[in-house]
Structure 1
C-alpha cells in the first residue's frame, strides 16, 4: 500500500507534458527536457516576423541554439532529425553565430500550445529551429526544421555519402558543383539520391530514375517552383521553391547536378 502511495505521489509530481530533445554531439548522449528548457537561464521571448512553417509572424519562448551545442565548433556539421523523417543537414557555423542571423531553439509550452500547422495537423513543436533576422545571412527554408527530436554532430555529407558526389574531374567552377551544394541545402532533408542520405521522407531522386529523365525541362522547373501548380493532390508535402529561395541561376545549377547524376548510378 505504501509503495502504491509513493508511486502515485511520484506520478503526480511529474510534469503532465514533457518532450525530450536528444543531443548526440560526441561523447555521452544528452537528453534535454522541454520543461527545463523553458526555464533555461538564457531562454527569452522572441518574435519572428516571417515564420517559415506558419507563414506569418510568430512569438516563441526560445533558447539560443549555440547555448546547447556544447563542444561544437564552426567547422562541424550538424543534422536535425524530425518526427516525420525530415533530416536537415546544416554546417554548424551559422548555428553558432550571434548575428546578424541568429539560430534559436523554440520550445513549445504546454500551457501556451502553438497552433496547428494546418487543419488536422499537429503544431511545429515541441522543438523548432527558428531564426531572427534570417534574411541578413541568407538562411534558407530547409534550415528551419520543426518537430525536432534529435540534434547530432556528424561527418560532412561528402564524407558520409560519396555516392552523392559529382565527377571529381569537373572544373572547380562547373555549375554542377554549385548544384551539389544547393542539393544539400534544399533537397537532402527530404530526399535520398543513389540510396545515399538519411532522410526517410521523399523518394530517391536517382534510383530507379532521375526526374530529368521523365520530366520535360520546362515542367520540371515548374514542378520545383510550384509542385501543386503542376499536379495537385491532398497528401502532397513538397514545398515550392520560389525565386526568393532559389534564384533562376541556382535552379539551373541544381538541374545540372541532377542531370549529371543521372549518369552516375554507381
Structure 2
C-alpha cells in the first residue's frame, strides 16, 4: 500500500479530538509549558461562562473556560503579559486586571474540537482554539484589543518601555503626548509597530516610512480611527473602528498627539 494512503487510513481511525488537538504555550519566566485543549478542558476550574456582548462575535456567547489567573503561577500584579495570536496579533496587558478578584474577570475560553465554535465570518475560521474573554470588561477599562482570539502563547515580559525605548516620547514631550503613549500601547500596539519596535506581525509600521499624521490632513485621522471603512473601503481592510465608549475623545486626542510627536522622532529599524 502507498505509505501516504496508509498514513491517512491510520489517521482516520483516531478520535476527532486527537486529530484537531491544539496547544497553548505559556512562557512565564520558569521555562516553557504547553497545555493541550484536552488538558485545559479537563482543568478542575473549567466551567461554562456567558459573555453578553462578545467583542469578536458581536452577540451573546457561551464558552467552556477557566479563570486565566489559574494558569499564571508565579505571576504578580506588577508583572507585564503579552498574549500572542496565531496571526501575529500581540496584545500587551498588565497582569493586575487578570489577577484581580474584583472588577473585570479574565477567562480563557477553550474550543472543544467535538463542539467547534462558529466561524467569525464567511470563509473565516472560528475564534478558537483559545480566546481571552472578559466578564464585566468596563470595570477595569478593558478594550477590544485585550480580547485576543486564536491565542497561541502567553508570555511574561518586561514592560513595553523597557523592551522598546524607541517608542518613548521625549522627556520634554507635552503631557498629552506622554498620555498618548499609554493609549498607543493599549489600542495600537497589538497590531502595529512604530519605529520598527514591537512584536506584532499584523499591521504596518506607524512611523516608518511615514507617520499617519503626515498624510492625513485636518480631522481625517481621528475620523479614520473612529471608523476606517468610512474613509476607505477595501475587501482586505481588517482594522475595526474605536467607538467613543472604547476610546474617549480625550484619549483619542492624546493618541493623535503622541503620533504627531513621534513623527519627529523617527528611528529607522
The residue aligned with 1:263 is: 264
C-alpha contact 2:67 2:106 (8 A) present in aligned 1: yes
Q: Indicate which of 137, 146, 149 corresponds to 2:149.
A: 146
1:217 Cα deviation after fit:
2.9
Moved more, 214-223 or 122-131: 214-223
Deviations 1:119-138 (A, max 9, x none): 00000000000001111221
The residue aligned with 1:170 is: 173
Deviations 1:201-243 (A, max 9, x none): 1000000010000101311111100000100001100010010
In structure 2, what is the Cα distance between the partners aligned to 1:239 and 1:249?
19
In structure 1, what is the Cα distance between the partners aligned to 2:101 and 2:131?
18
Instruction: Find the residue that maps to 1:217 and give its secondary structure.
Output: coil
1:60 Cα deviation after fit:
0.2
1:251 Cα deviation after fit:
0.7
Instruction: Find the residue that maps to 1:66 and give its secondary structure.
Output: helix
In structure 1, what is the Cα distance between the partners aligned to 2:108 and 2:86?
16
In structure 2, what is the Cα distance between the partners aligned to 1:136 and 1:155?
25
Structure 2 spans left out of the alignment, 5+ residues: 1-5
Q: Does 2:41 match 1:38?
A: yes
In structure 1, what is the Cα distance between the partners aligned to 2:257 and 2:155?
31
Q: Indicate which of 54, 57, 63 corresponds to 1:60.
A: 63
Instruction: Find the residue that maps to 1:15 and give its secondary structure.
Output: helix
C-alpha contact 2:131 2:151 (8 A) present in aligned 1: yes
With the length of structure 1 as denominator, give the TM-score of the two structures.
0.93
Q: Does 2:87 match 1:84?
A: yes
Deviations 1:13-35 (A, max 9, x none): 78232100000001220000101
Deviations 1:65-120 (A, max 9, x none): 00000111001100011011000000111111122210000000112111100100
The residue aligned with 2:233 is: 232
Q: Which runs of 4+ in 1 moved over 3 A?
A: 11-14
In structure 2, what is the Cα distance between the partners aligned to 1:191 and 1:232?
19
Structure 1 spans left out of the alignment, 5+ residues: none
With the length of structure 2 as denominator, give the TM-score of the two structures.
0.92
1:168 Cα deviation after fit:
1.5
In structure 2, what is the Cα distance between the partners aligned to 1:50 and 1:12?
37
The RMSD of aligned alpha carbons is 1.5
In structure 2, what is the Cα distance between the partners aligned to 1:239 and 1:187?
11
Q: Does 2:129 match 1:118?
A: no
In structure 1, what is the Cα distance between the partners aligned to 2:237 and 2:14?
42
The residue aligned with 2:254 is: 253
Matched residue count? 257
Instruction: Find the residue that maps to 1:89 and give its secondary structure.
Output: strand
In structure 1, what is the Cα distance between the partners aligned to 2:97 and 2:79?
11
